[in-house]
Structure formats: C-alpha cells, structure tokens
Amino acid sequence: MLFGGIEAGGTKFVCAVGTGPDDLRALTSFPTTTPGETLERAIAFFRDQETPPEAVGIGSFGPVDPDPASPRYGTITTTPKPGWANTDFAGTIRRALGVPVAFDTDVNAAALGEHRWGAAQGLDTVLYLTVGTGVGGGGLVGGQRLHGLVHPEMGHVFVPRHPDDPFGGTCPFHGVCLEGMASGPAIEARWGQPGRELPPDHPAWDIEAHYLAYAVVNFIVTLSPQRVILGGGVMHQTHLFGRLRTKVQQILNGYVQAPALLDEIDAYIVPPGLGDRAGVLGALALAQEAVAGAGSRGG
Ligand code: ZN
C-alpha cells in the first residue's frame, strides 16, 4: 500500500509517493501559484503514478481549519496569500482522487514525520519550528498533534527587542512579533540583502539568535518539550544552532533543572533528522494515520 504526501508551502509545493524515507517512489516540487493551477498539478502528479496512493496526507501553510469535525476541515482560511483564502484544499484533493485525505498544518506534519522517522523518535512531547518565509511552530504533546481552539500560531509570539535593533518588523498584523523580526523576509528587509548572502560573522546572526532564543525559551517554559527541532530556510545557516543553544541557556539561567538543557543541549536543540523532507514525509505519515484510523473505526 502506497501513500501520498503534500507539503504545501507559501512559495512551493512538495509532493511524494511512498511509504517512508527509505521508500520514496516519486518526489516532485513546483511553485505555489494560484490554487486552481497548483492543486491541479498536485492531482496530476498522483494520477500519473503507476500505483496510485491509497490515501493522501497534507501539511499546509495557513491559517487552516484542522478540525476533522468542522464543515470547513481542510480549508485554508484567512491567509494573506493572494487567492488562497477559503480554499477547500483537502476536499478538492479528496474529490479528485477518491481516497481518504488527512490534513494538518505544515509544522504539525513535520513534527509527525520527525517523530516517526527523524529526530523525535521515542519522544512524546516535541516542538517543531520552521524559520523561513514565515515562522511557525507545531508539535506533539503527549503523543498527540498539537491542536486546540484552532492551531498554535507560535510565529506570532512577542519577543523582547534586541538592544541594537531599531527594525520595525514585517508582520502585517503585529509588526514586531517573532515572524516580523526573525523570518527570512525580516532579515532581508532589515539588512537590504537576503540572509544567505550575509557572512556568518555578520551582526544579523546575533540579532536573529536573540529573537529565536527568546521564542524557544517561551515554548520550553510553556510546553516543556523533550526536544526542540528547527527547520526552514533560515536554519540552513547552521552556525545559528550554536548561538541559539548558548542564548537559551543564558536566558533560562539554570531555572529549568533538566540534564537535556543543562548538559546535553547540543542534542536538545537540533535540526530535523529528515532535513528538508520533514514536511513531505510528515504528510506521508499523516496519510498512513488516516488509513489506520479508518481501519480502527471499521471503515
Ligand atoms: Zn505577527
């Protein structure tokens, strides 16, 4: 039985068919354009497979409606991305392919993928943050994907300003929230060039680590995750991990007494074990859960 996964990002879609990281039968990516064109391309990818998937999982940018009991389940709701607000993403895929479709946020899917095959194996409370075009967070708490009223919007927590940073922030809703200060576009707006062009000794990175560290500390003291995984394009700057670990320890100041934080932080704040495939593999894992769930309900 093969599964399909869609990692839907604001700039690109990644689609895969397989059963896991060691058994990916097909993988493709293409730019996110209009909903009609982009979803049609995803549908065509799955239809063109010799063995079509038995279920499809979607990890999507949002905000989304992730509540399976809601009539708007699987819909992208209020995104500022042009054309995508109120897109019935899961429903469109389900009707086109005629298979079960499971849906969650991109970061919850990535956390699930890391739990199944990556850096969060054997843990039941983990945080996954992505720092790229946007900043988002998801995870598992007690083994369950993190949902609630809607879903967490961890990219929009408020973090204290770095003393050397007068930047006004890029978030259209809040200005100086985490995403407004630490996303890829925020780095580019602050310095006039994209982060990938800034050398590792540029002051940009101390400021970046400052905002990420305060956010990670806020999540450590609220969720008490057993591990914190950071992915996304900005985290390709691997020197950020060392800065981030040091600052997290400084800010916590020994308050949370756990060996993972005090002595083993190199293994606590880590990149995704699945690399840039965490999202699409997590979407595959969502599809597997959908089929297992249907089976256990007798469907
Ligand atoms: Zn914001």
CA of 169 to the centre of ligand 1 (A): 9
What residues have CB less than 8 Å from 231, skipping those under 6 apart?
Answer: 110, 128, 129, 130, 131, 271, 272, 275, 276, 278, 279
Query: Fold for domain 3-106+276-296?
Result: Nucleotidyltransferase; domain 5 (3.30.420)
- Indicate left, alpha or beta for 88 from its phi (over 0: left) and psi (-120 to 50: alpha): beta
pLDDT at position 298:
37
Statement: residue 229 has pLDDT above 90: yes
pLDDT at position 27:
98
Per residue in 101-147, pLDDT (tens digit) is 999 999 999 999 999 999 999 999 999 999 999 999 999 999 999 99
pLDDT at position 290:
85
Q: What is the mean pLDDT of the chain?
A: 95
CA of 104 to the centre of ligand 1 (A): 20
Neighbours of ion ligand 1 (CB under 5 A): 156, 171, 173-174, 177
Question: What's the CATH architecture for 119-271?
Answer: 2-Layer Sandwich (3.30)
Percent of the chain with pLDDT over 90: 93
Same CATH topology for 3-106+276-296 and 119-271: the answer is yes
Taking the complete model, does pTM exceed 0.75, yes or no?
Answer: yes
CA of 158 to the centre of ligand 1 (A): 8
The ranges assigned to domains in the chain are: 3-106+276-296, 119-271
Statement: residue 299 has pLDDT above 60: no
pLDDT at position 81:
84
Statement: residue 214 has pLDDT above 60: yes
CA of 50 to the centre of ligand 1 (A): 43
Statement: residue 297 has pLDDT above 50: no
